[in-house]
Amino acid sequence: MKEGELYMAAIKKIGFIGTGIMGAAMAGHLMDAGFEVSVYNRTKSKAQGLIERGARWCETVGACAAGQDVVITIVGYPKDVEEIYLGAGGIVESASAGAYLVDMTTSSPILAEKIYAAASAKGLHAVDAPVTGGDVGAKNSTLTILVGGAQEDFDALQPVFAVMGKNIVYEGSAGAGQKTKACNQIAIAGTLAGVCEAFAYAKASGLDVEKVYSAIATGAAGSFQMTGVARRGLDGDFNPGFMLKHFGKDLAIGTETATAYGASLPILAMVLHEVRKLEASGDGNLGTQALLKYYGVTD
């Protein structure tokens, strides 16, 4: 039996906490792959589709973590991560010795290090494994998974990661996955803002925005943020592939930790300011393409 098959045989039961836009699809793929999946979500109705397919419903975070080989979480904010992992009756307290704890939320690298230390003290294997690829990547099992923690834990979790993603990268010790995700979001922030500014310039100067899009989208200025995100906004579609308020959370993590690490990131700070303005006007639940609204490209 090959090493990967040995790991696959050892991992049978998975507790999945957080069945939102991305989590529901990810948990569904794990069920399709033959894992026994238990689920918990603050709003039970968001897990109903998985329950109807055979997932075991748990009434609490602790119940979902108990007795599992692997516990996966993908929730909203760092405060939520800290509560479900380190709070009373949480994952670290409830998980069985030897279990793997996989936080796939985009969260703080400093918190990831804290969870790793608390888990290790109890004989648990914690990794931070935030993802990129949005709702489409979750549905198509093509997520990029950025992993921080012990190399041997990364290796053991390969059969699980392979069900949910295609580009699975070991980034280094605890917190490294979250740091890499911050790099990703920082790059997106500048790129998306640049795209919005280009179309704002086109509109202000009297050009036809659609003609400009056709001219530059497939050239050197092209990017996924232009063709996959801004395009939706130009078409009047602001449904979220990734919610603006969650993007704001990610950018805030980047700015806060950049200060701790001594890095100066003025473009990130500018885009965070713009996102916060949109949130304040009630646009937080829209997709990130709503940044076009800030620049006056769309209404």
Known catalytic residues?
Answer: 181
CB distance 97 to 123 below 8 Å: yes
Instruction: Indicate the residue type of 86.
Output: L
Q: How far apart are the first and last CA of the chain?
A: 59
Q: How far apart are CA 218 and CA 12, in angstroms?
A: 45
Report angle CA 225, 227, 230 to the nearest 5 degrees.
60
Residue 185 backbone phi and psi in degrees, to 5: -70, -35
Residue by residue, DSSP assigns 32-63 as HTT-EEEEE-SSGGGGHHHHHTTPEE-SSHHH
